[in-house]
A and B are shown apart, each in its own frame.
Chain A
Amino acid sequence: MDDIVRYFLNVEIAYATLPDLLRGFGVTVRMAVLAVILGIFGGLVIATLRAYRIPVLDQLLVVFMDFFRAVPSLVVLVMVYFGTPYIGLLLSGETATILGLALVLSAYAAEIFWTGIKTVPLGQWEAGLSTGLRFTEVLAIIVMPRAVRMGIPVLTNRTIAVAKGTAYGAIISAEEILSVSLSAQQTYANPTPLVLGALLYLLVFIPLVQASRWIERTYSIRH
């Protein structure tokens, strides 16, 4: 029992590593928030563009959506981090993580919103257009609010899944919780920092899960 405490719940080491871990916590939260905001916004833009059925662009958007949903998130992050220098962009691990996760989430969000748009009955479009509303007005005022609400349960689930991908940032030198707790563990040859790291992850994601449940309850469409 004493060994368990010394190895996994070592108060001295916890105290010593806490400042770094809290910094890592801040990085994880920052990356998650930015990736989620950019990803959902990106998904909205893509789905809206698809509604206009612009030739060539539409096909390109489909390729984008399929690619970033098919490739594993970790691979996307690695591609972004190691690939962007070749086009003259030097991104930090943190920025590359945010960008990569935003690309992945925007692909999923676009698919979710697009499905929502297609599910709105044609009659809604016809009613709006028959009163003289523009296509864009019908899309923005009548169709998108429904499409977004319809997508909320799936979208919140997918958002949590992608946000957890911030941990992959450890591979591309983002100094988030996992990478900080791994270094601390190596420095002190003691797994207490990892335990602390796990607790910090719970601190990030349990509120996120509860927030998503609240959003689903309040905003999603009950059938």
Chain B
Amino acid sequence: MSETQPLIQLRGVHKSFGLVQVLHGIDLEVHKGEAVVLIGSSGSGKSTVLRCMNLLEVPSSGSVLFSGIDLVANGSRLREVRGKLGMVFQSFNLYPHMTALGNVALALRRVKKLPRAEARRVATEALASVGLADKVSSYPAQLSGGQKQRVGIARAIALQPEAVLFDEPTSALDPELVGEVLDVMMRLREGGMTMVIVTHELSFARQIADRVVMMDSGRIVEQGPAEQIFENPTQDRTRQFMRNRGK
């Protein structure tokens, strides 16, 4: 597995916002078929790492590669790559003036260039796969938080991406709505989707992850199989983090 080219690669990524350095030399690989979960305290830089993967954040230095394509150097291929990398946001970011179907179908028509009827069909299937077949004509304002996020997931997976990035997908949800989203994510994983997830839901992380990456203050503290990180962390910082969360 280490011989094959990683799907997503961050090499020596530093990121500063003005005078504040948020990432210090991140080296991270995600291989096809892996579920990688990034954990750490708020401000550890985990969301920034995720957002560098589809260049929503541009590194101050270092490189971001997708299937070997350097995204910073090859700006012209960025749109193509983004069509293959889905993203799900903490605050859902649904388009409020379009129905659930419209939200999911937009990129199918404009990026994948599907004709209208075909786009509608694919979008309907995607919404059905997240359990929202009966909500295709609903507007975001009419949906619960959990439903909105599931539309967000449908929007990301409808394009049949090679990987999906999840930026704290359940952090903005009421506790009773978290489960429905995690269920959808688990089913996606069982279907073999490559996933990179930033989350505070540690028990979920443990269930879904092949590899857990512990971050602190803009650096990767350690990474390894979920069991190892949760049961036998090698670094004090990791131990402290787990202890603080009663794990």
Contact = CB atoms under 8 A, between A and B. Distances in A.
A142 B95 contact: yes
Given A131-B111, A132-B83, A132-B159, A124 B95 contact: yes
A146 to B, nearest CB: 6
Interface stretch (A54-62, A133-141, A160-168, A193-201): A133-141
Please classify how large the interface on chain B is, using the bins under 10, 10 to 19, 20 to 34, 35 or more: 20 to 34
A66 interface: no
Interface in B83-122: 83, 85-87, 89, 91, 93-97, 106-107, 110-111
Given A131-B83, A131-B106, A133-B111, A126 B95 contact: no
B211 interface: no
B156 to A, nearest CB: 8
Contacts of A145: 97
Contacts of B97: 145-146, 149
Contact of B93 (A124, A133, A137, A149): A124
A134 B152 CA distance: 19
Give the size range of A's interface with the partner. Answer: 10 to 19
A133 B110 contact: yes
B46 interface: no
Contacts of A19: none
Say what secondary structure dominates the interface of chain A.
helix
Nearest to A131: B107
A127 interface: yes
Nearest to B158: A131
A137 B156 CA distance: 17
B79 interface: yes
B95 A130 contact: no
A104 B71 CA distance: 44
Contacts of A88: none
B89 A132 contact: no
B174 interface: no
B82 A127 contact: no
Interface in A95-131: 121, 123-124, 126-131
B80 interface: yes
B80 A132 contact: yes
A142 to B, nearest CB: 5
B56 interface: yes
A129 B95 contact: no
Contacts of A146: 96-97
Nearest to A132: B83
A121 B91 CA distance: 11
B94 A127 contact: yes
Given A126-B89, A126-B93, A146-B97, A133 B106 contact: yes
B106 to A, nearest CB: 7
Given A127-B89, A129-B82, A134-B79, A141 B106 contact: yes
A220 to B, nearest CB: 13
23 contacts: A121-B93, A123-B93, A124-B93, A124-B95, A126-B56, A127-B87, A127-B93, A127-B94, A127-B95, A129-B56, A129-B82, A130-B54, A130-B82, A130-B85, A130-B86, A131-B159, A132-B79, A132-B82, A132-B83, A132-B111, A133-B106, A137-B110, A146-B96
Given A127-B89, A141-B106, 19 more contacts: A123-B91, A126-B56, A127-B87, A127-B93, A127-B94, A127-B152, A128-B95, A129-B82, A130-B85, A130-B86, A131-B82, A131-B86, A131-B87, A131-B106, A131-B156, A132-B79, A132-B80, A132-B159, A133-B79
